[in-house]
Amino acid sequence: MRRLAFIFSLVLLLGADAPKKPTTAPAKPLEPWETITDKDIASINYDDATEDGGFVTPLAADLSNLEEDTKKERYQLADKMDNWVPGQEKDLVQQVRNWMCLCTFADLGRGLFEAEVPYVVFEKLKRDMPKEKLTKALAYIVLKPDAGTLVLKAPDLGFEDDAPEADVRERHVIYAKKLLGRLVGKLPPKE
């Protein structure tokens, strides 16, 4: 009996020194865009994104200027956008970057609705993504313009030819600033 008591106390003693298994799962590492701070966002300069009616990076204020026939074409394009594969990318920043690239195609003379495509894209993103995630993803694109890959064409949306990579790289960041500036109240400029 003593031997059994000794073995039992030994097991208890050894068990007390055994490492404990964690009761919670280890924290998932943050995605790079999740590390963007309010200070980072506040540091962004919007000077190159204030002009919406110009030749480069135009942006419609709304769609009231479209005639009925043109509105039908725009709605068809919007329907196709819902199924655009690069717009469904799992990586949030890459997905938003793909949408900003799409904004550049019409701007670069690749199709109709030069100022309206960015408007439609912006409205879609604001509707489909939580504001905080969208804000940080856009800020990441602006702060890390050379990161990620660029979409250079979208044949399923009517943009058949490759757009010039350097132009897409430059302008997708300006479009990111335009939407970010609207989300944080920095754009459009107050008169």
CB atoms within 10 A of CB 80: 13
Strand partners, 159: 154
- Indicate the SS3 state at residue 56: coil
What spatial distance separates the first Cα and last Cα of the chain, rounded to whole Å?
93
Is pTM, for the whole model, over 0.75?
yes
Per-residue pLDDT of the chain (191 residues; tens, 9 = 90+): 566 555 555 555 555 555 556 667 788 899 999 999 999 999 999 999 999 998 899 999 998 888 888 878 888 888 999 999 999 999 999 999 999 999 999 899 856 689 999 999 999 999 999 999 999 999 999 999 999 999 999 999 989 999 999 999 999 999 999 999 999 999 998 76
